Structure 1
């Protein structure tokens, strides 16, 4: 309870918080800069009088709505990159909203991979801004230390280190003695290890935002404060009319960077953006003698098990807790009624009871805090998405163009510089500079991500902010959504351990009698390991069924459909009744997406993509259809059409019991597509399987899934048919050498280095997107290549999973993309990008796994031939034997 906290001055602090005051040392007063007269539009007939008597421009190339640190950063980067007519509109004053009351922490660390790039660039920029703009940003960089107090945390730190070596930012582990040397005020009783990032620290968000704004104006951007957006309307050419009290601005694109107003701004155009306001509190003490006496600033501490950050604030201490999900508070009436119209630089009333456990933990870890006086309590709104990551990039809605999001930044200060640069590069070059699909604003679908789901998941994400992050971890708040297949409960009853994929529930593996049900968290092989091996054996020796309903599914129709796909994709368009794997490339020749495309008839195609890239791919297709003026209709049928996959040597026998159609090798060839009836259910069957074994994907109306599944299981009983999940499929696909989008191929890679040459038709007549870039890459030659590794690991692992560091002769030389145990070859497998001179089979490198560098050997791939290849070779051998060419 708060009453147990031996701190003084709380009454003053609470009063200050209620009054909306801000910590003066954090948010020093700074003169607001207004638009200079030299940047005012000259158009007298359309411009009207704006705030402070200035005139608004009537035209903008990019119009940014929101004057926080992210919006001003984008304005700065766009203008600096040379874009003309960059306009930023701020409803009240720059920094009003979440920016002004932020604690301003900066760190190179992030548990993800490419998000680290945002942090790295931001910290680099913070060191440069004052020289460029003349504005002091109050950047302190004493470094930061994450504290491990349990053996599990030690594992987590080693797990993070194995994913760090091939990244730019410096990071290393500290012994307890080194931790204490850097931060002598810590109680070392529970400290087992530290994870250290030099260059980390904190910055004044207010002056940082002013520096961005000064820089933006230096390069020609126009910033209008006290200019509310009152209306947004897209014009027929995809540009926008942006209404304000002072007139309308015609913008080629708009960017929603409105902070906690982003949801309301979305509603203005009918978009229900998945954003929720969360209360975040932190406290600041008065002077602490032990802090005041120091000559060097203390590093920032993140006590993960105590769930708080702690840093020096002048001669005192600032502590920011993340309370548990049952204690944290959402701004409920904002969720129901929207943000109050006049809310800007106000704060909420603080509640120390909610964070009492965290403060007690801080007192134990930093004993001098126990006798300190609290001088300020800050409790303000920050916007959360369901998964705590921002919405960043072009937003996809049917028919909508040129609407971008830069919203939902729970950690906007450290993201701000990198976000502004990333979005600028994308806007100017027409493609993202690197892969950040985890921030795609289209990752949440309107059919399943409602306001209740957003609130429930945001509560979970906030409460789990400092929880241990395990590989293969699932979090279950808000689940299941409306996206469940017709056999969801049936599979649960059969022991399915479900994974969450873009709103869908999909079996990862199945626990049977004698197995431990539910995933047991671990950084090594856990209770799923042996069941997955059992499922692999099922597919390899008999047959298995897998629920593939989460695939994204599109129909493309119209007179220009073939021409459109020929331009969009690097492979040849398939013939009627055939299926192909094809890749949508970016202009730089990077892999934007992978599609499985079937031609169903004249001007009628069926395309399939992964669950996590459904709207990512759909937006790209729709944009290029509009830009190219193609007469096509693209329909997203993901929610209407389900899919069961069947694979294994007995799969043909099972299906033949349910249909009169010809499923023979000649009658239903590999990569053929036919409409058939199975047990009375109409099915679009494609002979393909990501397992690499004999198999079909069976697409059907979602309401028929249970009937189809029961028919398959009944017919398959005599053939040993069973269930398998995505973990087994992943192991089988690695043995066959199949690449995975989002792992082996992303916009960070080109298809030639990824080994996708077979699918790239550089000699086809169509000038597909990325063709010229690939031709140039061929001429220049590759510098690295994707290779298959077998890795020497201990009996209980861990196995590689992707993003591990590759070492050779003491130097970092590459990174893994994915990995798993291969149950058929009985070896641990990893795929990795390495320099060409290390790509030859037999070369030995090392893969870093939980603090150990494990020997790994480059292999000739595939490790196991796919069923169609094995069948073809067997038929060839049989024919040669019959002709007497082979001695048996």
Structure 2
């Protein structure tokens, strides 16, 4: 049966497709004429927000902005609404996502789709039979339990069910190999065309203008931050533009000199004719996701729709579009199918759902979807270009569209996001994101679509990039490298007898003992760490202090000193944390985490320009290296390399000085994120290897050794040092995060968020970050686990790290936010 089906499939691939058999399109063909383009009216010549792209995401943004009260919302679509990837999408919807932030996007989308037909009068063909993810191995069952710890934070239903329950819900399944299912009631699928038309109807109702066909031919930024958008029907002046152009997004970006890291991937799915066993069912069957078979399967009328994600060696990227651009006339066309690529997936599906063996196939759809290197969309304002926003790279655009439209609308209307979504920040990519890297990484991401999602996951496609430090070659053979914003940085180091390499697990794995060893070494002797991936900016000029006093809640340090400072939003949330060094009069060095480099730089640049500050801001991340030397013997090691006095009285904590070490001129900062005695040494990249070798030689008598990021994070947590992105972000205000010491409400400068923080302090806190210790076995919390109390989720773990000082009793230390009225929760959970 498999062979005969294969031959049938191959024959069908050569047939001309009947587009009416694509899900929902037969029922909706011609409806577009009932929602005419605004081209029948006179075009607006100005727009508050101009959206480029009329797919589901772009139309959702127009709908939400207009509904929120924005008066001049204009959308331009080069072809017709849904052209591109929306019209041929399989339309899957799910509450599930491994990240808790994107669960909020999914949750909002589904709730919007449930009521959209009633609001707009446009049918959306929304089916909610639920979904089941299938586990056929013990590792997959572990993964389900791991994901269950993150469930219910957003009050959505999710259950682990046994094989018999799986078969009860999906009677067509062969459960011989099934161990468990992860069941999400309320999941399902929606017709993408009808959904987009409903959003378009709503957008028009609330006052948005949707023009099509209306290709954008050029974009010209103006000195006041506005844009001239050239179209086939004249120029529109826009206060901001939002690129929602799908696989055309790169062409739009090139108009202003940007290379967006996107690739078009061929994604195929198969539609069967009526299957008697499906037709005989009394109710619609849940969507099935066979993770090891790497495909989804759902009911389509009285047949089935089957969509695979083939292995990275078999999947296809339309590389000519990346190098040469999208063909000018491509809009609602499809690619030629290639069923040979997916035969492994087909055979897996026939094994799990045997009725597929006898099914007739009536259509094969192969269309373009856009992938970013890490599979996540790019969402928000783009660094380096004023008032240019993006909502692009949607591999799962249908489930994201509703929530993304709301999220971006709130951000634009309110001036800041409603919650943190830094994982979607377009500025997570930079100049290091080359075309070669983008293609290799997107290929890996597509092929790994259904791979087991382990904690501390590392993927190696496209690595290393050009972002390697001067000691990379020395350290790479001794360590397990992690990837941070393009950089390679040691996570932990090997010793003889250690199990080397990346060995993922849901339990303690090969890094556990070495990290414990590194922590003890730093506490008892001295260690050196490559900190080069830090984001590093210089700010200088006559208004430098004024700008930084406006941006940061702390008082700026005096020349030769350092402090920890935070940028606060107008609502009082924590936008960023930075180490600020006052190098000389009017010249500052700002240091941030590698993952927030361009996220922070964009914000600083934006406020400098909008405030009219006369400053020079330079990103020196790639030019400047950093080595950290820390531990009880750190001073003795470094003193051997310099004539400068490094004594505690001469070089105090939180001081910075130019120093010559081993003949190398650098800036030395008396600070260490481990909480131990230490210095951070800032120097030219080309001097890194020489300095590292000199430090290691000088430190031999003191037992110096390398340590990595895992050990540093464990040590910093023991000292209650918070880090942006886990213990604090846009979801937390400064006082919830315990940053009181760094917030100077009495400083003369009116910093952003000052009034909001005063109000928060007056009204009192609703929740607070607390430190707890936890007795564990070999399965440790990873972060974002839900904490249950009296039958409901009352808090979640923000971060855990191993406490070396409690090693003998095997205790974990974690940080959690709990409601202030529930302080007894600390004792109640007996952690």
TM-score by length of 1: 0.92
Matched, 1:236 2:217: no
Q: Deviations over 1:849-869 (max 9, x none)?
A: xxxxxxx42xxxxxxxxxxxx
- 2:510 alignment partner, SS class: coil
CA distance in 2, matches of 1:677, 1:623: 36
Contact 2:2 2:347 in 1 (8 A): no
Contact 2:541 2:616 in 1 (8 A): yes
Matched, 1:32 2:19: no
- 2:166 alignment partner, SS class: helix
Contact 2:13 2:336 in 1 (8 A): no
Structure 2 equivalent of residue 485 of structure 1: 469
CA distance in 1, matches of 2:454, 2:437: 23
1:46-57, aligned counterparts within 5 Å?
A: 51=39, 54-57=41-44
CA distance in 2, matches of 1:110, 1:840: 31
Structure 2 equivalent of residue 806 of structure 1: 787
CA distance in 2, matches of 1:747, 1:576: 30
Structure 2 equivalent of residue 275 of structure 1: 262
Matched, 1:431 2:416: yes
Contact 1:16 1:376 in 2 (8 A): no
Q: Deviations over 1:620-671 (max 9, x none)?
A: 0001111111111111000000100011000000000001111111111111
- 2:362 alignment partner, SS class: strand
Structure 2 equivalent of residue 750 of structure 1: 733
CA distance in 2, matches of 1:294, 1:8: 26
CA distance in 2, matches of 1:7, 1:299: 29
Aligned residue among 488, 506, 514 for 1:531: 514
- 2:637 alignment partner, SS class: helix
CA distance in 2, matches of 1:14, 1:427: 47
CA distance in 2, matches of 1:840, 1:672: 40
1:181-192, aligned counterparts within 5 Å?
A: 181-192=168-179
Aligned residue among 675, 681, 689 for 2:664: 681
CA distance in 2, matches of 1:56, 1:143: 44
Contact 1:97 1:344 in 2 (8 A): yes
Structure 1 residue 719, shift from structure 2 partner:
0.5
Contact 1:148 1:193 in 2 (8 A): yes
Matched, 1:208 2:191: no
Contact 1:182 1:298 in 2 (8 A): yes
1:852-871, aligned counterparts within 5 Å?
A: 856-857=830-831
1:210-359, aligned counterparts within 5 Å?
A: 210-359=197-346
After superposition, the Cα gap between the structure-2 partners of 1:310 and 1:675, relative to the gap in structure 1 and judged at 3 Å, is same
Q: Deviations over 1:142-179 (max 9, x none)?
A: 00000111000011011001012322322111121211
Matched, 1:102 2:89: yes
Contact 2:9 2:339 in 1 (8 A): no
Q: How much is the aligned-residue C-alpha RMSD, in angstroms?
A: 1.5
Contact 2:13 2:339 in 1 (8 A): no
Q: Deviations over 1:648-695 (max 9, x none)?
A: 000000000001111111111111001101101111111111100000
Matched, 1:598 2:581: yes
1:587-626, aligned counterparts within 5 Å?
A: 587-626=570-609
1:130-169, aligned counterparts within 5 Å?
A: 130-169=117-156
Structure 1 residue 780, shift from structure 2 partner:
1.2
Contact 2:383 2:427 in 1 (8 A): yes
CA distance in 1, matches of 2:47, 2:16: 41
Structure 2 equivalent of residue 820 of structure 1: 801
Structure 1 residue 379, shift from structure 2 partner:
0.2
Matched, 1:637 2:620: yes
Q: Which segment drifts farther, 416-425 or 184-193? A: 184-193
Structure 2 equivalent of residue 740 of structure 1: 723
CA distance in 2, matches of 1:118, 1:511: 41
Matched, 1:567 2:550: yes
Q: Deviations over 1:728-774 (max 9, x none)?
A: 01111111111111000010001101111111111111111111111
1:494-573, aligned counterparts within 5 Å?
A: 495-573=478-556
Q: Deviations over 1:442-495 (max 9, x none)?
A: 11111x1110100000000000000001011100010000000011010013x2
Structure 1 residue 16, shift from structure 2 partner:
2.9
Structure 2 equivalent of residue 657 of structure 1: 640
CA distance in 1, matches of 2:422, 2:460: 22
CA distance in 1, matches of 2:551, 2:36: 45
Contact 1:9 1:375 in 2 (8 A): no
- 2:176 alignment partner, SS class: helix
CA distance in 2, matches of 1:33, 1:693: 69
Q: Deviations over 1:378-415 (max 9, x none)?
A: 00000000000011000112xx2100001100100000
- 1:184 alignment partner, SS class: coil
Structure 1 equivalent of residue 22 of structure 2: 23
How many residues align structurally? Answer: 827
1:169-188, aligned counterparts within 5 Å?
A: 169-188=156-175
Aligned residue among 673, 681, 686 for 1:690: 673
Matched, 1:383 2:332: no
Contact 1:14 1:376 in 2 (8 A): no
Structure 1 residue 837, shift from structure 2 partner:
3.5
Structure 2 equivalent of residue 415 of structure 1: 400
CA distance in 1, matches of 2:719, 2:698: 28
Matched, 1:834 2:827: no
After superposition, the Cα gap between the structure-2 partners of 1:770 and 1:355, relative to the gap in structure 1 and judged at 3 Å, is same
Structure 2 equivalent of residue 886 of structure 1: none
Q: Deviations over 1:808-827 (max 9, x none)?
A: 34432100110021112222
Contact 2:160 2:183 in 1 (8 A): yes
Contact 1:801 1:830 in 2 (8 A): no
Contact 1:323 1:358 in 2 (8 A): yes
After superposition, the Cα gap between the structure-2 partners of 1:155 and 1:800, relative to the gap in structure 1 and judged at 3 Å, is same
Q: Deviations over 1:32-83 (max 9, x none)?
A: 258879xx7xxxxxxxxxx55x421100000000000000000000000000
CA distance in 2, matches of 1:78, 1:30: 27
CA distance in 1, matches of 2:387, 2:75: 16
Q: Deviations over 1:194-239 (max 9, x none)?
A: 1111110000000100111110000000000111000100001000
Structure 2 equivalent of residue 367 of structure 1: 354
